[in-house]
Amino acid sequence: MTTIITGATSGIGKATSYELAKKGHALYLLVRDVVKGDELAKQLSRQTGNREIYSVKCDLSDLYSVRTAAEKLKSRLFAVNVLINNAGGIFPQRRTSKDGFEMTFAVNHLGHFLLTQQLMPLLIKGQARIINVSSEAHRVGRPNFNDLQGKESYSAWKAYGNAKLYNIWFTKSIADKFGDKGLTAFALHPGVVNSGFGTGLSGFSRLLLSLARPFMISPEKGAETTVYLATQATLHTKSGGYFKKKKPVKPSADANNVAYREKLWQLSELLITRDL
């Protein structure tokens, strides 16, 4: 199995990479910091005996970096069996990416949208599973299509909730648009994981996170549903589904809004071609 994963150097991504390395997957770790990525690849190889672990530079907030990473992968690989869009983040203050997009939108959605589009020939050849790490935070998502970039009104949690809702819309759209080509897609909530998530938050948000920390699960526990979706043999009938604790669960009502997710897809296609 050839598997690509973003956000592999910490938290859930690192734990997921370790479990898949143990299962013999040929792993391509897409990382912002190639020094950390190379160190992790060597570490996982030592720990698991798996020699097919590689790191590839990819900054999801930079569309040129995403395209460059995809071209490198296409030059090395014939097919991809699993793509795990795992990387994400929450940003206390509104920031913009190199391409001018609000950072939560860029990292959690648009970078993964472009990566998936660019890798589509390899994914189709590999009859791939595409796994998008979402969150129960999607239930507070209330997107404003006239202000996707949060210029008029920004809050960290609102932007994050919207982005996690986009992850589910993206998943359902892939299942609809590419199911006849053999692709399956799944979204998931990993649990509230004790990792570096939320570093930099302040005020009430920081207080809430500190109070919740004793009840958070480990990255290893948080990775279980991702690993399940990447390896379980009989999931094709659940394509487009949202999973929690390795079981399909019902997402929010907005998550099933076909018109909204089609609008997001069309807007995303426009945005990723804007800088060409």
Rounded to an integer, what distance in angstroms lies between the CA atom of residue 174 and that of residue 181?
10
C-alpha distances in Å from residue 16, one per residue of 21, 27, 57:
8, 11, 19
Which residue, among 122, 40, 111, has the nearest Cα to 73 in the 3D structure? 122
Residues 220, 82, 197, 11, CA torsion sign: positive
Q: Are 85 and 115 in contact (CB under 8 A)?
A: yes
How, if at all, do strands 184-189 and 242-244 pair?
A: parallel
To the query of whether residue 260 is one of the catalytic residues in this protein, the response is no
Rounded to an integer, what distance in angstroms lies between the CA atom of residue 111 and that of residue 231?
24
Q: Give the SS3 label for residue 30.
A: strand
Rounded to an integer, what distance in angstroms lies between the CA atom of residue 114 and that of residue 63?
8
DSSP state of 137: G
CB 209: neighbour CB atoms within 10 A? 15
Instruction: Choose the catalytic residue: 28, 160, 166, 228.
Output: 160
Which positions are annotated as active-site residues?
A: 160
